[in-house]
Structure 1
Amino acid sequence: MKLDNKSLLLYLVTDRSWLGDQSLISQVEKSLIEGVTFLQLREKNLDNESFLNLAIEMKDLACRYDVPFVINDNIDIAIKSDADGVHIGQDDMPIEEARKIIGKDKILGVSAGTVEEAILAEQLGADYLGVGAIFSTNTKKDAQNISFETLKNICESVDIPVVAIGGINKENILSLEGSGIDGVSVISAILAQKNIAKATYELKDICERIFKHD
């Protein structure tokens, strides 16, 4: 699947810890119906077989809504599930190695926290950047916050799309206007809300107003 920067407008990362007794598939589908444009499956505590089965199911769901689907960190699961790509962090597999394994036609997302990391990631084959953490987040307690100025500088330094990540919600998202990002990546701003459909609709509406795509 070819990456369009418009598809990064509202990027959902999964986290089953927010869902209680609800199924991840059913809750993610609610968000897809209301406008999530990109989906990442992030699983740290599942065994490989369960992870793969979930990835295959999630891939089918994403296909039904014509939304790009990537796996966080695990390239083996990404390949076996025929995901559209993979997202890796700075401490995961080297970027050039990841690109070589998944091939030129799959999406490669890379986390970056500095201009230097961003430029290098683009040079080594990244298709988009996830930049953060922008605000404090419970998901990655050790993440250092990135300033608005750094975020803007990163956007100005690369030609590939940039999505902001980390602690973003409908209360603080407006402060990112003018940064140059193509969209935002969220977890709890959707999955931790009592009404996932409503939360998604409201976030999508804000994103469409403040992140302009040609």
Structure 2
Amino acid sequence: MKPLFDLSVYLVLGPQDCPGQNPVDIAVAAAQNGATVVQLRDKTGSTRAQIELAGQLMQALTPLDVPLIVNNRVDVALAVDAAGVHVGQDDMDALKTRQLIGPDKLLGLSVSTQNELDAAHIAACDYLGIGACFPTNSKDDAAEVGMQSFTGLTAQSSLPVVGIGGISLANADQVIKAGADGVAVISAICGASNPSAATRRLREIVKSAKDPRR
């Protein structure tokens, strides 16, 4: 059975985002303080290292009922029985990814343009990541969508949407007010002096921004 998921506070992290710190420790601190999804995104680690880290994350997050999503690497996700996979436009096609992971795993897809949204295999996916909402240094090839375009793309989506790219405590409310179901962050938590407190604050911001929509 496919796991339930809540995109509200979607933490993306890998070793490169946590210099001098253990990514598992940050993930646990975030999960204990309001993070609702954790995605492992490691573009440089060996397959063995990624599987080891993913396994540690699974062991730590499963008791906290926070799903682990693996970015791009279907093999890593399947090796540790992660909750799902997230793919971008340059990764494996979403339809092929769904065929490989089966019907009971979550699948997210990143889109940045109207053409990408129109071409997306929506039926194969469970949620969309739309962005970059704001300028970001975490992904060199991420084109900034801007909030006006983000709002338009999000309004067309039949799937839940998590905003991605350059989101911080200072602008997360804009993303939710533009129609997103959640915000994906890296440095807002990983780069915080107190990741637990930063996660709690982000969760409060998201909840407050969502309340008027109910």
TM-score, length-scaled by structure 2: 0.93
1:38 offset after TM fit, Å? 0.5
Whichever residue aligns with residue 171 of structure 1, its letter is: A
1:17 offset after TM fit, Å? 2.7
- Report the counterpart of residue 98 of structure 1 in structure 2: 97
Are the equivalent residues in 2 in contact too, given 1:3–1:127 (CA < 8 A)? no
What CA distance in whole angstroms lies between the structure 1 residues aligned with 2:77 and 2:125?
Answer: 16
TM-score, length-scaled by structure 1: 0.93
Q: Secondary structure at the match of 1:211?
A: helix
What CA distance in whole angstroms lies between the structure 2 residues aligned with 1:50 and 1:134?
Answer: 31
Are the equivalent residues in 2 in contact too, given 1:122–1:160 (CA < 8 A)? no
1:119-169: CA deviations, max 9, x gaps?
432534111001111111111123111122221222221211000001100
Match runs of 1:26-175 below 5 Å? 26-175=25-174
1:56-101: CA deviations, max 9, x gaps?
1111222111012110000011111100110000011111100111
Distance 1:45 1:177, change over 3 A: closer
Aligned residue pair count: 213
What CA distance in whole angstroms lies between the structure 1 residues aligned with 2:176 and 2:53?
Answer: 35
Q: Secondary structure at the match of 2:202?
A: helix
Q: 97-106 or 15-24, which moves further after superposition?
A: 15-24
Q: CA RMSD of the aligned region, Å?
A: 1.7
Are the equivalent residues in 2 in contact too, given 1:11–1:185 (CA < 8 A)? yes
- Structure 1 unaligned residues grouped into runs of 5+: none
What CA distance in whole angstroms lies between the structure 2 residues aligned with 1:55 and 1:41?
Answer: 7
Whichever residue aligns with residue 204 of structure 1, its letter is: R
1:198 offset after TM fit, Å? 0.9
Task: Provide the identity percentage.
Answer: 36
What CA distance in whole angstroms lies between the structure 2 residues aligned with 1:147 and 1:41?
Answer: 25
Whichever residue aligns with residue 195 of structure 2, its letter is: I
What CA distance in whole angstroms lies between the structure 2 residues aligned with 1:18 and 1:68?
Answer: 19
Whichever residue aligns with residue 112 of structure 1, its letter is: V
What CA distance in whole angstroms lies between the structure 2 residues aligned with 1:4 and 1:84?
Answer: 10
- Report the counterpart of residue 7 of structure 2 in structure 1: 8
Whichever residue aligns with residue 26 of structure 1, its letter is: D
Are the equivalent residues in 2 in contact too, given 1:41–1:71 (CA < 8 A)? yes
Are the equivalent residues in 1 in contact too, given 2:127–2:159 (CA < 8 A)? yes
Q: Secondary structure at the match of 2:11?
A: strand
Q: 142-151 or 118-127, which moves further after superposition?
A: 118-127
1:21 offset after TM fit, Å? 2.5
- Structure 2 unaligned residues grouped into runs of 5+: none
- Report the counterpart of residue 211 of structure 1 in structure 2: 210
What CA distance in whole angstroms lies between the structure 2 residues aligned with 1:62 and 1:39?
Answer: 9
